Chains A and B, each alone.
Chain A
Amino acid sequence: MIWNFQLSSPILAVQPEKRMFEAMGLETVIVSTIIGACALSFGASAYLFMRARPQPAAKDLEKIVKNAPYHRLHNVLKVEANS
């Protein structure tokens, strides 16, 4: 079978201690998986927080209301000049 051939290949059979993933303990695998999952989750949550942050207002509303083009309304609607 294919996997048997791979496992008993001469290089791996001669130096079993050199196999990187074989040397990893169960604890390392589990700890790194959990830390990785948490890092992903934290990253995604931070991205969502940044998205949900309200956009800063471009200008003060009072200033926009004051400087709106009322001169265009002279025949259409009467708007008080200083209010």
Chain B
Amino acid sequence: MKGPLKFKRRPATALVAMANSLSMGDAVPGDELRQIIGAVVSDRAERAALLAALRASNDPDCGLAVADLLTAYASDAAEAEAQARDADQVIGQWAQRLAAGALLASFGAAIAGTVTGGLAFGLTLLSFSGFVFATASRIGGRGKMRRRGQDRDSADSLARHVLEAGKLKKEGK
């Protein structure tokens, strides 16, 4: 990585530029930074490009700034994951149980003859569709939770690798 190696403008170099700019006291919009980090963290080529760019950089503190940004992103993702898990366990699970209970109750009322005819059919249909809807929304919420978990893990590992790359560079390897 020695010599005047030129890098392309891509999310990885944009992240290095933003981290450098932040360490010099310039403001960088938070949503742009988040979007760039998300793009770098989720793409293998960008991760490799980030490590290469940091090893080629002349400023040893640049890697530290990038690693700090990545760790902050990982902790944000962990927070979002915890919120999604809470919503799933507190709301999603009980919505599903409530709908399943209503379905059983409508079956029971229809079998016992308390509710008959079209009303019984309508109730069963309503509670069944409620159960399906609750299950679908839970699946959606859990998908988001999993994505957040992946984001957190990859940002964490990338931050570790960035710090390792900085150490190797300092040792001249």
Q: Which residues of A are in contact with B by a Cβ distance under 8 Å?
A: 26-27, 30-31, 33-35, 37-38, 40-42, 44-49, 51-52, 54, 57-59, 61, 64-66, 68-70, 72-73, 75-80, 83
Assess the B137–A64 pair: CB atoms within 8 A: no
Which B residues are CB-close (under 8 A) to A52? Answer: 84, 137, 140-141, 143-144
- The yes or no answer to B82 lying at the interface (CB within 8 A) is no
Which A residues are CB-close (under 8 A) to B166? Answer: none
Interface of B is mostly: helix
Which A residues are CB-close (under 8 A) to B106? Answer: 34
Complex CA distance for A61 and B143, rounded to whole angstroms: 23
Closest to B131 in A: A41
Which A residues are CB-close (under 8 A) to B102? Answer: 34, 37-38, 41
Supposing A77-B7, A77-B16, A83-B9 touch, asked if A64 and B59 sit within 8 A by C-beta, the answer is no
Given contacts A37-B101, A44-B92, A58-B32, 12 further A-B contacts (CB under 8 A): A31-B119, A34-B102, A38-B127, A48-B92, A49-B140, A59-B35, A65-B10, A69-B26, A72-B17, A76-B58, A76-B62, A79-B7
Which A residues are CB-close (under 8 A) to B18? Answer: 68-69
> What are 19 pairs between A and B in contact, CB < 8 Å?
A26-B114, A27-B119, A30-B109, A30-B114, A37-B101, A38-B99, A42-B134, A44-B94, A45-B130, A48-B87, A49-B140, A54-B144, A58-B31, A65-B9, A68-B9, A68-B14, A70-B14, A72-B24, A77-B7
Assess the A68–B8 pair: CB atoms within 8 A: no
Complex CA distance for A48 and B145, rounded to whole angstroms: 12
Q: Which residues of B are in contact with A by a Cβ distance under 8 Å?
A: 4-11, 13-14, 16-18, 20-21, 24, 26, 28-29, 31-32, 35-36, 39, 53, 56-59, 62, 84, 87-88, 91-92, 94-96, 98-99, 101-102, 105-106, 109, 114-115, 119, 123, 126-127, 130-131, 133-134, 136-138, 140-141, 143-144
